[in-house]
Amino acid sequence: SAELGRWNISIDDSAGRPLSHTPPGTFLILLAEAADAEFSPVPLLALLKHPLCACGGAPGEFRARVRELDRRALRGARPDPGLDGISKAIAQTKDENIAAWFAPVAAILKKLENKRRNIAIADAVAAHVQAAEQLAATNEETGAARLYRGDAGDAAADLIAELSKATPDLPDIDTKSYAALFASLAAEYPIRPSYGRHPRLSILGPLEAR
């Protein structure tokens, strides 16, 4: 499929593409992993530099601010764990513009700072999705409109809906296990485009070919 893309041939692959390899999937996984890592600099920056992250502003301007945060506050000595550690590192720069910009970002991410050892999966999913939609919003579009766009967005919405529906009766899990759980589910959730593929070519597995 990748090789055919060099000749602008889009082909239907019966195996589909994992949700984890799409922009909405990677964004949701990065958010869960950043929370799991207590928002240490590397996973936090990976999240904030993702194209879907804008936190209610213009995406280009937001990423410029992220680069400034990286350059001014997060290089050198490792900050203390958690968002408070990041805020403390920003305060040491005495840059009020970065501090004012990061405050609403931290307010959204605070929803995922869970100090409890165990958490209900449904609660973790709800907090995860709420934070993701708020971070994905721009000054022109809602977060939901950007996050759930196209085939990949539909698949992300379906996975979240199925996970929310299936988990209320399950026992609580270790808080640190949620990111790995979500990433593994996204890696196994296939996406097959609904249109736009070559009308006469396809890649089939043994079952589909038979």
Q: What average pLDDT score do residues 138-148 get?
A: 95
Question: Could you report the per-residue pLDDT of 99-134, keeping only the tens digit for each?
Answer: 999 999 999 999 898 777 889 999 999 999 999 999
Pair 142, 10: CB distance under 8 Å: no
Give me the pLDDT at residue 185, please. 95
Evaluate if residue 31 carries a pLDDT over 70: yes
Beta bridge partners of 202: 12
Give me the pLDDT at residue 26, please. 97
Band (pLDDT 50/70/90 cuts) for residue 68 is very high
In this predicted model, which residue has the larger pLDDT, 58 or 3? Answer: 58
- Which segments of the chain are extended strands (E)? 12-13, 17-18, 118-119, 173-174, 190-191, 202-203
Structure tokens at 188: 């196994």
Among 144, 146, 150, smallest CA distance to 130 is for 144
Give me the pLDDT at residue 194, please. 65
Structure tokens at 45: 């920056």
pTM equals: 0.86
Residue 163: CB atoms within 10 A of its CB come to 19
Beta bridge partners of 118: 174
Residues of the chain above pLDDT 70, percent: 98
Q: In which region does residue 150 sit, left (phi positive, over 0), alpha (psi from -120 to 50) or beta (all else)?
A: left
The one-letter amino acid code at 206 reads P
- In angstroms, rounded to a whole number, what is the distance separating the alpha carbons of residues 44 and 82? 10
Pair 33, 43: CB distance under 8 Å: yes
Give me the pLDDT at residue 10, please. 77
Q: What average pLDDT score do residues 92-101 get?
A: 92
Question: Could you report the per-residue pLDDT of 144-193, keeping only the tens digit for each?
Answer: 999 999 889 999 999 999 999 988 888 889 999 999 999 999 999 988 76
